[in-house]
Amino acid sequence: MELFNRIKNIWRANRDEGVQVAERNLTNMRVGDILSHDLIDYKVEGVTIYRNGSHVRYGYLLQSPGQTRYLLVERREKLRVYLFETLNARLENPEEINREMVFEDVAYYESARGESAVNVLGQSAFTSYDPVYWWLHLADDGRAMLFEWQQGEILIRLGVPIKSHEVTILAGSE
């Protein structure tokens, strides 16, 4: 209920002040925006922009009561969107990431890997100073496993692809 009241207050403030808020999409969300997917509302707590040459990916740390998710958006020939949950698991070093990884009897195969400079806004597991090394593994059923390494720390995320039209975004600021 608190989230709904917050959204009403944002709309009311924008209408009353005559502020024009830029339309949000999956590649321009900001900290404070609200994202709805599958009947769950999330507040964007952090934005990570990954850059590797002309290729750009966007990561959003999402918070909802009782759960934290990570949305990864990649613009290729079409928009690829994954909703991840960060696992409470650990690898000692990136050398342990194989081309095939098995988790809970599901095999994930390396689909892509890379190194990206990052810009961070709000909350993030990363800093803007060092590159992030990442590995994306996909299962035959489309599920994804993402490994990200920076400064000796590895994050492991498990997720599913989602369709961009399944997401609604409400701007929380200008």
Q: Is the pLDDT of residue 105 over 90?
A: yes
Tokens of 106: 């599901």
Q: What is the pLDDT of residue 16?
A: 53
Of residues 74 and 10, which shows the higher confidence score? 74
Q: What is the pLDDT of residue 153?
A: 85
70-88 burial, b at 16+ Cβ within 10 Å, e below that, comes to bbbbbeeeeebbbbbebee
Q: Is the pLDDT of residue 119 over 60?
A: yes
> Tens digits of per-residue pLDDT, 60-71?
999 999 899 999
**Which whole number is the average pLDDT over 40-47?**
95
> Tens digits of per-residue pLDDT, 120-131?
999 988 888 889
SS (H, E, C) the chain: CHHHHHHHHHHHHHHHHCCCCCCCCCCCCCCCCEEEECCEEEEEEEEEEEEECCEEEEEEEEEECCEEEEEEEEECCCEEEEEEEECCCCCCCHHHCCCEEEECCEEEEEEEEEEEEEEEEECCCCCCCCCEEEEEEECCCCCEEEEEEECCEEEEEEEEEECHHHEEEECCCC
**Which whole number is the average pLDDT over 113-119?**
93
pLDDT band at 174 (very low <50, low <70, confident <90, very high): low
